Amino acid sequence: MLIQQGSKLLMIGDSITDCGRARPVGKTAGNGLGDGYVALVDAWLRAAHPAQPLSVVNMGVSGDTVRDLRARWQTDVLDLAPDWLSILIGINDVWRRFGDPAQMAQHVPADEYEATLEQLVSDTRPRLRGLVLLTPFFIEPDVGEPMRAMMDHYGQVVAGIAARHGAILIDTQAAFDAVLEHEPPMALSLDRVHPCLTGHMILARAFLRGVGAA
Alpha-carbon separation of residue 126 from 57, 81, 109, 131, 150 (angstroms): 20, 12, 27, 10, 30
Name the 3-class secondary structure at 55. Answer: strand
The partner residues of 8 in beta bridges, in order of sequence, read 55
Residues classed as catalytic: 15, 191, 194
Whether residue 201 lies inside any domain: the answer is: yes
Q: How many domains does the chain divide into? A: 1
Whether residue 3 lies inside any domain: the answer is: no
| Tens of each residue's pLDDT in the chain, 214 residues | 999 989 999 999 999 999 999 999 999 877 899 999 999 999 999 998 888 789 999 999 999 999 999 999 999 999 999 999 999 999 999 988 887 666 777 789 999 999 999 999 999 999 999 999 999 999 999 999 999 999 999 999 999 999 999 999 999 999 999 999 999 999 999 999 999 999 999 999 999 999 999 7
Q: Is the peptide bond before 146 cis (omega within 30 degrees of 0)?
A: no
Whether residue 203 lies inside any domain: the answer is: yes
* Gap between the Cα atoms of 108 and 39, Å rounded: 28
The residue type of 139 is I
- Per the structure, the complete domain to which residue 54 belongs is given by 8-210
Whether residue 2 lies inside any domain: the answer is: no
Alpha-carbon separation of residue 194 from 43, 89, 170 (angstroms): 21, 13, 18
Whether residue 1 lies inside any domain: the answer is: no
| Order of strands across the sheet that contains 8-13 | 55-58, 8-13, 84-88, 130-134, 168-170
pTM higher than the cut 0.85? yes
Residues with Cβ within 8 Å of 211's Cβ and at least 6 positions away in sequence, in order, are 1, 2, 3, 130, 132, 168
CATH number of the domain where residue 74 is located: 3.40.50.1110
